[in-house]
Structure 1
Amino acid sequence: MACSLADSGFLLKGNLHKPINGHRFVSLFPTGASYLTWEVLPQCKAKHRRFVIPLRRSKTVKSVASPVTSPFPVDGAQHRKELCESYGFRQIGEPLPDNITLKNIIDTLPKTVFEIDNIKAWKSVLISATSYVLGLFLISKSPWYLLPLAWAWTGSAVTGFFVIGHDCAHKSFSKNKLLEDIVGTLVFLPLIYPYEPWRIKHDRHHARTNMLKEDTAWQPVMKKHFEESPIFRRAIIYGYGPIRPIMSISHWLLWHFDLNKFRPTEAGKVKFSLACVYAFMAIGWPLLIYKTGMVGWIKFWLMPWLVYHFWMSTFTIIHHTAPHIPFKSSEEWNATQAQLNGTVHCDYPKWIEILCHDINVHIPHHISSRIPSYNLRAAHKSLQENWGKYLNEASWNWRLMKTILTTCHMYDKERNYISFEEVAPEISQPITFLKRVMPDYA
């Protein structure tokens, strides 16, 4: 074992697992080298000094306990490899140096990834429209036991509409900005999403990704909010546990229909978007119910909409949530680290990637939201070549989801997250249940 100190060196001898002043030192690694910083070393009482021999100021000193191999820091390759196995990741990126800027990263991307291609843009519309119509046909013809498959397809297809509107909101769909707003408004209508409120809210997410209080997407639970009332605590536990994969429904309802959340200068466009959604509901829903009955409304609209929210919730959670990804206060926040180190690339089955237009190739989108969805893979390949060691990457698996749903709950500055089981074990049965029943394979 080797110990690297910031300002001094020392030699450990004897039983390394014996507590010193109430602290136990156990290496995170099976053999080889570990690093300790002086800040985490407890002050040794006189009775423990027989275990410590002062040395000259030194960067690294050897212990008599075990052989020394090539040293690596606590966040070194071996540690990250172990975290990957534990969390269900394929790769956990190295910390990005403080002096790297978003411009440094953007400058390494090929200029072609920023180019808008009208043919590719309208091809994505054609894919989504065709897939959606096919899904509705499957719903109409499927026996009851095949309906879940038809809903899964149709809900995934309508998620593609969202991604097209997402490109429109980022001004990466067309060079004609009026056309973008029209297309964005129309493709959001089947989702009952008001385009302009969502665009404004989403821009704030990009400007403050993983900023503790300002990010408008998923955040850790704050202690003061959790302690407001017993009933509220139970609701939060369910919301961040078993029903988290569809909790974007509450986010949709609370964020997008409240005019008080928007500036007076934004109110005009927000009201227009809301009027479009209300008109769609007032005309489309009665027609659907008239033609197919209430059961038809559930079959053709509600169930695919719930599948869309499953993807909306799941995609968004995985994009920025993991035990090793911090949320930071505005004073400590670093934009480049948040966008590159704080964003996750996740691979899904091919049919989902096609229907959802590669929205989960998400790191380049946070480096620059001007990259159209059809260029995200080329941009990600460039990032892998130039910045690959800093990237967080995964393929969707049960261990990844289990880690998020059972661990990533309450904010803690030192540990990033604390599980509800730790802070409120008496009411955390939903989390215990998930740990017991969810598969654990990666």
Structure 2
Amino acid sequence: MTTSIIRNQEINNRLNNPELRLKDIIKTLPKECFQKNQRKAWTQALLSVVMAGLGYWTIAVSPWFLLPIAWIFTGTALTGFFVIGHDCGHRSFAKRRWVNDLVGHLYMMPLIYPFHSWRIKHNHHHKHTNKLDEDNAWHPIRPEVFSSWGKTRQSAFKLFMRQRLWWVGSIGHWAVVHFDANNFKAKDRADVKLSVAVVVLFAAVVFPTLIATTGIWGFVKFWFVPWLVYHFWMSTFTIVHHTFADVPFEAKNKWHEAMAQLYGTIHCDYPKWVEVLCHDINVHVPHHLSTAIPSYNLRLAYSSIKENWGDYLHDEFKFSWSLMKQITDQCQLYKTDVGYKTFNEYYAGR
């Protein structure tokens, strides 16, 4: 038995103690972690606008061989737009709800991401993190579900994992989940329709204007490719936050809130420029303990968590191709009460 499995079992034994509650962990965090600072919030918002503007200027003036660098920078800056909207969705950007809703729509609009649609679904993820059949973010596929699929769908999923196409995963999630009001409860549909209308109107005005003034290539160069880079980070952040071979997903009757949010959320360090442009969203453990913590206070909260609850945290990682290879090679199917299995292990056991 490997050291990681032994440690995982020890942590499971501790966290499955019914006396350990998430709110008790939250109480150990410094009060400053929850304080909204309008100067910091609007500075982050302005930084994202300036950096995206710099990125678009760089795209406009760059020779063809420098365009990939300009695209990567701009798409990463646009990911910062999403993080601003993310804070707004959790009501941690401003004190007034209408300000959060307005800024959230404005910052998610260029990404064609309906704000309320995302907000509602994302809050569901926080309530059911790493719960089988409930978590609606990046969740594992169980063998019995996989076997119920047709051959075409099975082949597509195997290609997706084996060819390490995780980076397009959020595009499918965005397209399938967020534009259909029928995917939401009746009480939420008016908000969803409003947010969909906002992004449709934006696209109806901006896209034809962009094509008319810069051509199809201009649309691809200035919007589509940076948008793909944004989705690269969106997909990458989402899978890394809660996926590793020893991170458990539990059935409803065994799910433990503290374990899911504390041990089931992974801290991963990215290059400094990515952290700055994306407003530290990958300091993710404190965010899953309490969504009330603004992004500019995440590092302060994480320092406290490591000091008080370090023995319960998952190992930290640094972003790399080898890390993504390890995740996609090992975390392919998930057997309830057992853990992840590879496709080869699945077929060998049949």
Fold conserved (TM > 0.5)?
yes
- Scaled by the length of structure 1, the TM-score of the pair is 0.75
The answer to whether the Cα contact below 8 Å between 2:128 and 2:135 also exists between their aligned partners in 1 is yes
Equivalent residue for 1:231?
152
Q: How far apart are 1:288 and its partner, in Å?
A: 0.6
**CA distance, structure 2, for counterparts of residue 296 and residue 399 of structure 1:** 34
Equivalent residue for 1:376?
298
Which fold has the larger relative contact order, with Cα–Cα distance below 8 Å and residues 6 or more apart in sequence?
Answer: 2
Q: Which runs of 5+ in 2 are unaligned?
A: none
Q: Which amino acid in structure 2 is aligned with residue 214 of structure 1?
A: E
Query: Deviations along 1:101-126, whole A, 9 cap, x unmatched?
Result: 11111110000110000000000011
Taking only the aligned residue pairs, the percentage that are identical comes to: 48
Q: How far apart are 1:416 and its partner, in Å?
A: 1.1
Does 2:6 align with 1:75?
Answer: yes
Equivalent residue for 2:83?
163
Aligned with 1:114 (options 34, 38, 62): 34
The answer to whether the Cα contact below 8 Å between 1:154 and 1:304 also exists between their aligned partners in 2 is yes
Cα distance 1:28–1:155, how it changes in 2: closer, same or farther (>3 A)? closer
Does 2:209 align with 1:278?
Answer: no
Equivalent residue for 2:15?
96
**CA distance, structure 1, for counterparts of residue 12 and residue 214 of structure 2:** 51
Query: Deviations along 1:216-250, whole A, 9 cap, x unmatched?
Result: 10111122332221111011112334211221100
Q: How far apart are 1:93 and its partner, in Å?
A: 9.7
Equivalent residue for 1:175?
95
Equivalent residue for 1:293?
215
Q: Which amino acid in structure 1 is aligned with residue 15 of structure 2?
A: L
**CA distance, structure 1, for counterparts of residue 5 and residue 241 of structure 2:** 25
**CA distance, structure 1, for counterparts of residue 115 and residue 201 of structure 2:** 14
Equivalent residue for 1:21?
none
Equivalent residue for 1:331?
253
Q: State the SS of the aligned residue for 1:307.
A: helix
**CA distance, structure 2, for counterparts of residue 239 and residue 193 of structure 1:** 23
Q: How far apart are 1:143 and its partner, in Å?
A: 1.1
Equivalent residue for 1:46?
none
**CA distance, structure 1, for counterparts of residue 224 and residue 312 of structure 2:** 40
Greater helix proportion: 2
Over aligned residue pairs, what C-alpha RMSD do you find? 1.9
**CA distance, structure 2, for counterparts of residue 212 and residue 93 of structure 1:** 17
**CA distance, structure 2, for counterparts of residue 129 and residue 115 of structure 1:** 24
Aligned with 1:268 (options 186, 190, 203): 190
Cα distance 1:362–1:182, how it changes in 2: closer, same or farther (>3 A)? same
Number of positions where the alignment pairs a residue of Structure 1 with one of Structure 2: 344
Does 2:328 align with 1:397?
Answer: no
Equivalent residue for 1:439?
none
**CA distance, structure 1, for counterparts of residue 13 and residue 224 of structure 2:** 43
Cα distance 1:93–1:363, how it changes in 2: closer, same or farther (>3 A)? farther
Q: State the SS of the aligned residue for 2:211.
A: helix
**CA distance, structure 1, for counterparts of residue 167 and residue 159 of structure 2:** 11
